[in-house]
Amino acid sequence: MTVNYDKRKNMPKWINSIKRSEIYLLGIIVIAIFIMSFLDPNFFTVRNLFNILNQQSTLGIVTMGVTIAMLSGCIDLTVGNLLASTAAIAALMLKAGISDGWVILLTCLTGLVAGTLNGVIVVKSRIDTFIATLGLMSVYQGIALIIPKGNNIYLQGKFDWFGTYRIAGLLPLPVVYFAVISILVYFIMRFTKFGRKLYSIGGNSEASYLAGINIDQNKIIAYAISGLFASFTSLIVISRIGQSQPAMGTSYPLEAIAAAVIGGVALSGGKGKIGGVFLGVILLGLIRNSLNILRVPSFYQYVMLGVVIIIAVTISNIGENKKR
């Protein structure tokens, strides 16, 4: 007589709730921290770890928005240039003497409207999301150049608290933003009808349509959230560097997609967890910080970063490959 035995029953519940890909990814992070701690004793310190989180907080927030779009089966390449556009708008408002609170509200509202417009154009035109957002990316790049007439807008010390303040002199405020937004997105995708609908749409849009889900509406909302997060991130960036730049944020789209894919999100949509995405963002930060500490030249860093991304994605997907 054959007895079906599930090994997972003997495993703790918290392990069963995590995909194997996330466990592998967490293992890679632990190994990377161990190796770097051996190579440089100053690596594994509270201050350096907070610095890594601080450096990755902007990419992390953008990635959360991009991930929501990806889970619905869409790609959003506009986030970098949208960030630059809203940064220019925010900088002009600050230069005009508008209060910080209004600048934050109006900038986020601008990003929300732009993201909604992106979603409407993508879903109503029925163009492939990659091509549609590639064209919109160029539009926002032009807007980022037109608004400041191709020049940087210097803030001269205004608004510096938003992206540089440290709680108790240690915890950077952007890390708090990143943590709060990550938790919020986790609960939305895990426990709300909207989150379940996005997974359903990304996994099988035809079945979702037959089940009565408004596919276009939910995709538009996903793009709106992505635009909102990009504009919020622009506030952090201009606060840190004290100016807006027309070319800022150009690397964010591909880096955000890379972090999401490393975290287990499928490019086709419908698969992936926010916890894995968070780990993907952290892993990229560890890699960059490690290469800087080891004084690896920047042009070699691109090659090494690409190789590590490929290896990390391969290892994190071992569990899924075995399942198939």
The residue type found at 29 is I
SS3 content of the chain, % helix, strand, coil (to 5): 75, 0, 25
- Residue 321 pLDDT: 57
Q: Alpha-carbon distance 53 to 282, whole Å? A: 7
- Residue 301 pLDDT: 77
Q: How many CB atoms lie within 10 A of CB 322?
A: 8
- Residue 35 pLDDT: 86
- Residue 69 pLDDT: 94
Closest Cα partner for 111 from 233, 260, 287, 242?
233
- Residue 154 pLDDT: 92
- Residue 24 pLDDT: 78
- Residue 323 pLDDT: 53
- pTM for the structure as a whole: 0.89
**Per-residue tens of pLDDT for the chain, all 324 residues:** 444 444 444 544 444 445 666 787 888 888 888 888 888 777 888 888 888 899 999 999 999 999 999 999 999 999 999 999 999 999 999 999 999 999 999 999 999 999 999 999 999 988 889 999 999 999 999 999 999 888 899 988 889 899 999 988 888 999 999 999 999 999 999 999 999 999 999 988 889 988 999 999 999 999 999 999 999 999 999 999 999 999 898 889 988 988 998 888 888 888 888 998 999 999 888 888 888 888 888 788 778 777 776 776 666 555 555 555
- Residue 1 pLDDT: 42
Residue 114: alpha-carbon gap to chain centroid: 18
